[in-house]
Every structure is written in structure tokens, then in C-alpha cells.
Amino acid sequence: MNSLPPYAQLLRLRVDDGGGEFRMVMPFHEDVVGRPGYLHGGAIAGLLEFAAFTTLARAIGDPAVAMKPITVTVDYMRGGTPRDTFATAEIQRLGSRIANVEATAWQTERSKPIAAARLNFLLDRPRALAPQ
């Protein structure tokens, strides 16, 4: 991801490809605080959405394909605390018109997620030019 959208920049998201796995990292800072001592749910949802978008974009490999979210469902499992938060995503289905992606966010232990999301995307692929 060369240029992050403004909301991703506000969240200070970064890509971590270390260990042979793609993941997004949201460092803890004041802009992601909700109630005192906890992360804002919108910041967590944003992290999950960017992880899903980036994973899908990498799998498609064509910047001309527009990825339009149809539904985004976030399940919050426990409160995010003042520390770095990580997210990965896995494509469940990648068709010609629809993609289904699941993303998970955690902090200290991957086996103890703080949130998970299911995202459905409409893929708008450019039409090939018809022969003249």
C-alpha cells in the first residue's frame, strides 16, 4: 500500500509483512482512544476494514478492479487496551463479481482476538475493449 487514505493515516496504520504473513498494525496513540483506557470501536473497525481491503487488493493484483463493500459486520469480543493492535484478513471466497473476507484483530495474543469482521465486496472489473 503506497499511499494510505486519510483515515488510515489518522489511525497511523502500517503494513507489517514480517514473518512471511501480511498484517496491519495500529499503534496506540491518543487519536484511537474511546472511553478512557480503551480503544474506540470505530478505530478497531477501521483497522479490520483496511486489513480486508489490502488483503483483497493484493489477491486481485489489478488496481483497475474497484472493490465496493456491500456489508461490513464487526463483532467486538473484548475491549482494546492502550497497546499496539494487529489485524490480518483471510479471503473466504473470491469470485468474478463478489468477494467474502474475514478479518481478525488482536493485541497481546492472536488466540485472544478483540474483534472480528466479515466483509462482502462487490467487484467492479473493467470491461475489455470490444474488437473493432
Average pLDDT score over residue span 11-31: 89
Separation of alpha carbons 128 and 75, rounded Å: 39
Give the per-residue pLDDT at 130. Answer: 36
User: What does the domain layout of the chain look like in residue ranges?
Assistant: 6-124
Q: Whole-model pTM?
A: 0.90
* Domain 6-124 in this protein, CATH class: alpha beta
Q: Encode pLDDT of 39-96 as tens digits.
A: 999 999 999 999 999 999 999 999 999 999 999 999 999 999 999 999 999 999 999 9
What is the share, in percent, of the chain residues with pLDDT greater than 90? Answer: 75
